[in-house]
Amino acid sequence: MSEATTIGHAIRTARRRHRLTQEQLAELAGTSTRTVREIEHGSGGTGIATVAAVANAVGLTLGVTE
């Protein structure tokens, strides 16, 4: 599983836990529903700042490991 897919899965799981639709999450994060969908599927060329904003909207933070 790629990093993008892993992040997308975590965001989708958190979104569902908070009982949010993709549309609601997009509004909270200041992005489009299409972008949320692409992030959740690990596709598209979404910038890291947008991914971080979507993750933050559901209480997740992105981190770096070596």
C-alpha–C-alpha distance, residues 18 and 59, integer Å: 9
Report pTM.
Answer: 0.91
- Name residue 15's amino acid: R
What per-residue confidence (pLDDT) applies to 65? 85
Whether residue 1 has pLDDT greater than 90: no
14, 26, 58, 62 from 17: Cα distances, Å: 5, 16, 9, 18
Q: Can you name the CATH fold of 3-57?
A: 434 Repressor (Amino-terminal Domain) (1.10.260)
Task: Provide the pLDDT confidence category of residue 28 given band limits of 50, 70 and 90.
Answer: very high
Mean pLDDT to the nearest integer, 30-46: 95
What is the average pLDDT across 11-27?
A: 98
Structural domain boundaries in the chain: 3-57
